[in-house]
Chains A and B, each alone.
Chain A
Amino acid sequence: MKTDSEFIEGLKSNEPRLYAEFVGVFASRVYNTALNILQNKEEAEEVAQDVFMKVFQTIDTFDQSSTLKTWIYRITVNKSLDALRYKKRAKRWSVFVNFFNDEGEQKHTAVDFVHPGVQLEQKENASILFAAIDKLPERQKAAFVLCQLEDMSYKEAAATLEITVSAVDSLMSRAKKQLREQLNLLPYGSIK
């Protein structure tokens, strides 16, 4: 695999072959991070494409103060959270419109995300977990997705989210506490 410097130089010199290689290396991480935050396949694909466009457009300004991987994860998290905020705003607006318009259709349905990477026998449990993750505040959600689902160390997550390691630790503790509270509210036998 190419080093960060080789990728950066290759992208700056506009080598088409290197663009494909670069996307091949980072696509799965970018798409899966966006998918875990957004919990929607189409939106995750759109965000992942936007992430790569942003990387290609701003590669000249990348100062290498962090690794390429951290930088790409940072863009992915920021873009995913932006998309999430936009989705929430649209949802609020549709509630407002539907309140005054009885004939209006409810476009935004409740979250019922089935993770495409999860095996069939674990799909139900995964849906329960993702529904609980979806209710977390956005910073806790981002930290939980990076550390727990993307297997990042607290140090890497701290660099990605541009916060301290202790802040990541605190976000993770609060996220886990909130998730446990939510799971405890489920009826007995919901988790198989």
Chain B
Amino acid sequence: MDQLNKLLKDLDQSRRAPLPQGFEEKVVNKWFNQVSKKEDYSALKYIAAACLITLSLINILSLTEYKEPAEISIQVTSDTASENQFAEEYGLVEQSTYYSLNQ
């Protein structure tokens, strides 16, 4: 018998190493810990997504708010214009005062 066959024959009698202590339990626990961590992460993802949506909404709303004063100012201008027109029509123009003062 050659050396390799002799070694293999010797090894054949007992070569299954015993499992490390508590191996099966460790594996199952590791898996379920990973799963619960994954669930935590997915909850965090939902929270982060909700925060992003809220921030975007706030941003959009604030932009709409920003537009409002511009419209008001246009209205004020037009009011002023109509007031001037009214004053001109009824002879209440500032020009007269200016003129009389100069005189």
Contact = CB atoms under 8 A, between A and B. Distances in A.
Interface in A17-35: 19-20, 23-24, 27-28, 31-32, 35
- The dominant DSSP class at the B interface is helix
Interface in B1-55: 2-4, 6-8, 10-11, 13-20, 23-28, 30-32, 34-35
Contacts of B20: 31, 41, 45
B29 to A, nearest CB: 10
- Sorting the interface of chain A by its residue count into under 10, 10 to 19, 20 to 34 or 35 or more gives 35 or more
A125 B6 CA distance: 9
Interface string A38-55: 000100010011001100
Interface residues of B, number: 27
Given A19-B28, A49-B30, A27 B4 contact: no
A90 interface: no
B19 A179 contact: no
A48 B6 CA distance: 30
Contacts of A24: 24
B95 to A, nearest CB: 87
A190 B8 CA distance: 15
A180 B8 CA distance: 12
A27 B8 contact: no
Given A16-B32, A183-B7, 4 more contacts: A27-B19, A53-B31, A56-B31, A149-B15
30 contacts: A14-B35, A19-B32, A23-B24, A23-B28, A27-B27, A31-B20, A35-B17, A41-B20, A48-B23, A52-B27, A53-B30, A53-B31, A116-B17, A117-B18, A118-B11, A119-B13, A119-B14, A122-B11, A122-B13, A122-B14, A125-B6, A126-B7, A126-B11, A126-B15, A129-B4, A129-B7, A149-B11, A180-B3, A180-B4, A191-B7
